[in-house]
Chains A and B, each alone.
Chain A
Amino acid sequence: MAAPRSDTGAEEKVVRGLRGVLGAELARQVWRAAPQYGLLIGFVVLCAILSAASPYFLTTQNLLNVALQAAVVAIMGFGLTFVILTRGIDLSVGSVLALSGAVMATVTAGRGPLIGILIGLLAATLLGTVNGLFVTAAKVAPFIATLAMLAIARGLTYVYTQGAPVGVHATAFTFWGQGTIATVPVPVMVMLVIFILSLSILTQTRFGRYVYAIGSNPEVSRLSGIPINRYVVAVYAISGLLAGVGGLILTGRLASADPNSATGSELDVIAAVVIGGTSLFGGRGGVFGTLVGALIISVVANGLVLLNVNPFWTQAVKGAIILMAVLADSIKRKSWYE
């Protein structure tokens, strides 16, 4: 008799307890789904606490503000989710955002917003593709390849901008950061559209199935005839492209491309993906978790401001939330070292 996949004592106890109340099959289902629901429950509880603590929290204005703050992290997080699902990592998203923002702003000044935005997004996709080629063709570990790109892209941004912010004033450009459609900020709209697109790709298409397959077991995938390298390059290209979209939104919002923008933001993006329950071992997770993860980070930051907590606490609280989210998930899973 083969033992079930994760036969930890803890799981058995919980399942046995639940079985008394719910019956065997349902108990198993609830336990399986618990990590995802746990995340949502945590999110709802967090919101409930904040709305009790501050009358301002539950206003439309504030909620839209929370979503707006989450948008850039969430959008980059969707791209990173693809990468992490294939067992990879992309540390370069913040720098790619800055470089593409600078390119967009500069080209827009000369050739108008349409060409500017397209060239900027193209540059971001190109940088992502380079990441993917280093990971596949040159067999560099994803952590190293994208760490190098983090430094290179940031450096190129400084060279390209001479270290000074580049202003943009075309309304067709700033619309992406400042505009609203029926009171909903455009960045939130963009976030939702990309969320739905990513979700459909991951759950409904061959591409998505292969992304999960490659992360679950690259050898099995290769021996099933899947051209792994092509898909891995594509996944890094997507991450680059979405960092570029982040660049568009951030530059549009500030009406200026700051070469220092999004420095260190890769940590927030990774945090959103990890809080969302996507496994760093690949093959497990998805963009829904990432969306909730980004919202949680944003709600916490927002809540700390509303509750007049010293902003110096923000980082520490964020770290604690990451640990809590991962702890909830790790009851089910083996330790990193097993």
Chain B
Amino acid sequence: MTVELLDIRKSFGGVHALRGVSFRAEAGEVTALVGENGAGKSTLLKILSGALTADAGDVRLEGRPVSLHTPTVAQRAGIAIIHQELSLLPDLSIAENMYLTRLPMRGPLVDWGRLRADSRRLLARQELRLDPSTRVARLSLARQQLVEIARAIAQDARILAMDEPTAPLADEEVQTLFRLIRQLRGRGVTLIFVSHRLDEVFEIADRITVLRDGQVVRTLARSEASPELVVQMMVGRTIQEQFPKVAQVPGDLVLEVRNLYTKELLRGVSLTVRRGEIVGLAGLVGAGRTELARAIFGADRIERGTLLLDGKPYRPRHPGDAVRLGIGYVPEDRKRSGLLLNFRLFSNHTLASLKKFARGGRLVQRLEVRAFQRWMQELSIHARSAHQQAASLSGGNQQKVVLSKWLELSPRLLILDEPTRGVDVGAKVELYEIMNRLAASGTAILMISSDLPEVLGVSDRLVVMHEGRVTGEFERAQATKERVMAAAIA
């Protein structure tokens, strides 16, 4: 089913999110929607899903105007959106999730036999080897996403829009997703694919629409596009270097981890980070990288092993211990664990260093605001004011606020967990530059990243993990994509 959006306009308060966007996606094609954060992609998807109504403009399906004023109407029209936050019910089975709104009934009772048969048939048709009676909570995030797509198909979706579906996935999981997407394309489903990862866009998309500042810059066929051209259209300027790397001469050991075990996952991890060094931690999702970060930060219990911080024994029982000793941690999921979304920017900024802003037991707001404003400038955080709510910022700017919270403490060790996930190209480069500056001033940085080109481009040294163990360690000069991948799946 062809979907067309014609001259769509939408503003929030005084902010124009979409200024006359026209966009078209054909049946049996994958149309990629790319643009920096704040370009209007999410707003466009929300209008398509009926979650928001446009101020002006038309939506047409097969040339016929439709009014998508509620999510239910959009769903009935055959439109399904896969959001970044999945919407499955974790305590129900795959089959129940797929047919929740129209369970097969026998009289007043659910016909479990038919439900199982129907869902098994549908999963098999999409070449998904999943047992429909499995509880969703037991599936990996990647599998849950596949189930979510299967559910959309079970509900006869003819138009499927996916918002950053590959963000939480490892390379091989992305390939499984792409197999499914190609198969749906072959069956004539209209696919809309939103992503920040351009290599994936070029792998899967037939057509690429670039958005910037609420307007369509251009729609290109894949054959006439190149990554350089797309990036240039996205940011409106040429980005010189994707990974501006300043080589550092590493100093003394800041962190030394020897033979670290945790109850859940880590099986004897050893690793070092030096002053002024950026150590990249690569591996597949579930390799234990986040668990290692949390153990070092005192957020998860350490079972045994030795940690040394600046040569002194270190055993955090609580993140407070780590913070006191000058360790900062930017977690993977900034909305859930990094930011207080309903707090103002300056109070997010001072949360970890609040003691500094008290005079005789009273917090001096003026000092807090001034401290934040300094970092706001230093990190070029784009915000109207220090009093704005954190929820109102775009992803890249939110990430910078989480970072600024730790920089206020001048940490000796900074742990960054997927710091550029969901961050647009321009802001990514800015974050890399900030990391370089911090390293130059002597901060030790441990960066987890599932983005292979990024971790290769940014790190002085690379440590690769697999199933709770370190399976490879490479100096920058020796690290290649092939070697790292080999270690990650070893």
Contact = CB atoms under 8 A, between A and B. Distances in A.
A160 to B, nearest CB: 38
A28 interface: yes
B198 interface: no
A226 B320 contact: yes
Given A1-B18, A5-B341, A224 B352 contact: yes
Q: Report, nearest first, the 4 A-B pairs whose CB atoms are least far apart.
A: A225-B323, A1-B17, A225-B320, A224-B352
B363 A223 contact: no
B14 interface: yes
Interface in B326-371: 329, 331, 336-343, 347, 351-352, 354-355, 358, 361-363
Interface in A223-252: 223-227
B191 interface: no
Contacts of B320: 225-227
Given A5-B389, A223-B319, A224-B405, A206 B354 contact: yes
Contacts of A213: 340, 343, 351
Contact of A223 (B214, B337, B393): B337
Interface in A20-60: 24, 28
Given A2-B38, A28-B13, A205-B358, A222 B299 contact: yes
Interface of A: 1-5, 7, 9, 15, 24, 28, 204-206, 209-210, 212-213, 216-217, 219-227, 283-284
B12 A3 contact: yes
A216 B15 contact: no
30 contacts: A1-B214, A1-B394, A2-B37, A3-B12, A3-B46, A4-B12, A5-B341, A5-B389, A7-B12, A7-B52, A205-B358, A205-B362, A205-B363, A206-B354, A206-B358, A209-B351, A209-B354, A216-B341, A219-B336, A221-B340, A222-B319, A223-B297, A223-B299, A224-B323, A224-B405, A225-B320, A225-B323, A225-B324, A225-B352, A227-B320
Contacts of B13: 4, 15, 24, 28
Given A3-B52, A224-B352, A225-B319, A205 B342 contact: no
B42 interface: yes
B392 A4 contact: yes
B14 A24 contact: yes
A137 to B, nearest CB: 13
Given A1-B43, A7-B52, A222-B299, A206 B355 contact: yes
Mostly, the B contact residues are mixed
B42 A3 contact: yes
Which residue among A3, A210, A212, A225 has the maximum number of chain B CB atoms within 10 Å of its CB? A225
A323 B339 CA distance: 32
A24 B16 CA distance: 13
B149 interface: no
B358 A224 contact: no
Contacts of A4: 12-13, 391-392
Contacts of B354: 206, 209-210
Contacts of A212: 343
Contacts of B288: none
Given A24-B14, A219-B337, A224 B351 contact: yes
Interface of B: 12-15, 17-18, 37-43, 46, 52-53, 214, 297, 299, 318-320, 322-324, 329, 331, 336-343, 347, 351-352, 354-355, 358, 361-363, 389, 391-395, 405
Nearest to A217: B340
A223 B329 contact: yes
Contacts of A204: 362-363
Given A24-B14, A217-B337, 9 more contacts: A1-B38, A7-B12, A9-B53, A209-B351, A213-B340, A220-B338, A223-B299, A223-B329, A225-B320
- Max chain A C-beta neighbours (<10 A), residue from B17, B318, B323: B318
Contacts of B343: 212-213, 216
A213 B340 CA distance: 7
Contacts of A216: 340-343
Contacts of B363: 204-206, 209
Q: Which of A1, A206, A210, A213 has the most CB of B within 10 A?
A: A1
Contacts of A7: 12, 52
B331 A5 contact: no
A7 to B, nearest CB: 7
Nearest to B16: A1
B391 A5 contact: yes
Contacts of B337: 217, 219-220, 223
B342 A284 contact: yes
Given A1-B39, A5-B341, A209 B12 contact: no
Contacts of B341: 5, 216-217
A225 B350 CA distance: 12
A283 B344 CA distance: 12
A2 B392 contact: yes
A283 B339 CA distance: 13
Contact of A1 (B40, B318, B355): B40
Contacts of A221: 340, 351
A216 B362 CA distance: 21
Contacts of B389: 5
A27 to B, nearest CB: 8
B297 A220 contact: no
B216 to A, nearest CB: 14
B337 to A, nearest CB: 5
A14 to B, nearest CB: 12
Contacts of A2: 37-38, 42, 391-395
A124 B394 CA distance: 47
A175 B352 CA distance: 45
B358 A1 contact: no
Contacts of A210: 354
A35 B256 CA distance: 53
Contacts of B38: 1-2
Contacts of B340: 213, 216-217, 220-221, 283
A9 B214 CA distance: 21
Contacts of B405: 224
Nearest to A25: B14
Contacts of B53: 9
Interface centre among B12, B323, B355, B392 (most CB of A within 10 A): B12
A89 to B, nearest CB: 20
Of B14, B43, B340, most buried by chain A (CB within 10 Å of CB) is: B340
Nearest to A284: B342
Given A3-B12, A4-B12, A205-B361, A225 B392 contact: no
A216 B351 CA distance: 12
Contacts of B342: 5, 216, 283-284
A210 B347 CA distance: 10
Contacts of B329: 223
Contacts of A219: 336-337
A69 B232 CA distance: 69
Contacts of A222: 299, 319
A220 B299 CA distance: 11
Contacts of B319: 222-225
